[in-house]
Amino acid sequence: MYQVLDPATEEVVTEVEPLDLGQVDAAVARAVAAGPAWRALAPADRARLLRRFAAVVDAHVDELAELEVRGAGHTVGNARWEAGNVRDVLDYYAAAPERLFGRQIPVAGGMDVTFREPLGVVGIIVPWNFPMPIAGWGFAPALAAGNTVVLKPAELTPLTALRLAELGREAGLPPGVFTVLPGKGSVVGERLVTHEQVRKIVFTGSTEVGTHILRQAADQVKRVTLELGGKSANIVFADADVERAAANAPAGVFDNAGQDCCARSRILVERTVYDRFLELLEPAVTGLRVGSPAKPDVDMGPLISAGQRDRVRGFVEGGADAGGAPVDVAFRGSAPAGPGFWYPPTVVLPRSTADPVWREEVFGPVVAVLPFDDEAEAVALANDTEYGLSGSIWTRDLGRALRVARGVESGNLSVNSNASVRYSTPFGGFKRSGLGRELGPDALDAFTEVKNVFFADD
């Protein structure tokens, strides 16, 4: 057994039994066994089960949210949205079983049609930052396409995934169709990747582990979808509504205490409005309410763990510029004293683009701000990273918005907004931010193989 801690209080929420290799293999065997009946189910019946699963999740939004507040330190407003997102993604992909269209292609001597066949068992490996949505983005389309699913939650945050699996059974999913396997990445996660009967891995987490998984998957030509790190740029041009850009910037990076792969953790501001932007940003940051995530009026809760807090602190205080000196803190918000893994929202001014705080994914409430002189420099700075997940562009010039949006090497951009994720639109990264896309109309491609069949007419 290991303990799940409340990150806001460091109290033990509950204990969870991590699975060993034998238990993982047994679960995969059950998922294999459940496959034929699940894929043979009439499309309308599979759709109905997914809609029922969505309805059961909807009836438990508050309970799931409370689990995420206690077990992951998410603010209650965010946690309710996250549980609602699982419901919405299930509803969205409930339409898919009846719309998994193939094609009829003109050929000589007969008829040619394509089918979208399920892959078999899909393994989903989930990080601790958004336990519910990231799980749902994997299991909802995977199940809709006729696959069975084994899902490993992060060791730190297994509770909502375990509850979702129970709710799936309550909704009528047959045994073995959707199983949650708590345990260590090095044990359960590794086994899902190396198991020959797990035909695909959907992984979200660090670029380091994602790279390791991609390498291992090569042995079996195993399919992978990877959603990895980010160092996204929030680009503010002088012609923008600078007040709005500044007012929105904190939520764009400090939401979920900055533990968000889409966090706009680099702010680039056109030099002519740089001072004014910082003046406007300061009250927006110092005014953030940081505290118990269970309180409805709180903007930011704690970090997930002591280890993550120490890592974040290291970027700011621990000799974090390229030469080993602490970075300059422009200003910072507050954080409670006492127990809990707290870190205040912090705005830093790097000395150069070589500083680790400018280059590396901090995954905490730290944002770095630099000025730029023109559009070309803004795009070059935004692209000067191995990552390419999200980003924002603030300008009133439509042509510029279009040019910069086409110029930034990133999978998800927003203009005059910091929103990255909608379940109906594709999500994923360029460069080392990932491989493949989740969500939206094309996600089913990632959970099916195209089969071509020719019927001779003689």
Residue numbers annotated as active site: 227, 261
Our CB check for ligand NAP shows the closer of 93 and 315 to be 315
Judge residue 36's burial from the number of C-beta atoms within 10 Å of its C-beta, 0-12 exposed, 13-18 middle, 19 or more buried.
Answer: exposed
Judge residue 450's burial from the number of C-beta atoms within 10 Å of its C-beta, 0-12 exposed, 13-18 middle, 19 or more buried.
Answer: exposed
Residues with Cβ < 8 Å from 363, sequence gap 6 or more?
A: 129, 229, 258, 259, 263, 308, 311, 312
Q: How far is the CB of 364 from ligand NAP (least distance, A)?
A: 8
Q: How far is the CB of 64 from ligand NAP (least distance, A)?
A: 19
Our CB check for ligand NAP shows the closer of 146 and 429 to be 429
Q: How far is the CB of 424 from ligand NAP (least distance, A)?
A: 20
Our CB check for ligand NAP shows the closer of 215 and 289 to be 215
Q: How far is the CB of 125 from ligand NAP (least distance, A)?
A: 5
Our CB check for ligand NAP shows the closer of 190 and 270 to be 190
Amino acid at 205: G
Positions in the binding site for ligand NAP (CB under 6 A):
125-129, 152, 154-156, 184-186, 189-190, 193, 204-206, 209, 212-213, 227-229, 261, 361, 363
Closest CA to 279 of 251, 257, 247: 247
Q: How far is the CB of 393 from ligand NAP (least distance, A)?
A: 22
Our CB check for ligand NAP shows the closer of 96 and 312 to be 312
> Using CA atoms, how far apart are residues 145 and 132, in angstroms rounded to an integer?
20
Closest CA to 340 of 154, 76, 14, 73: 73
Go through the chain and tell me how many residues it has. 458
For 384, 407, 425, the CA distances from 438, given in Å and listed in that order, are: 25, 22, 8
Q: How many CA atoms lie within 13 A of 81 on its CB side?
A: 12
Q: Which two tokens stand for residue 252?
A: 């764009």
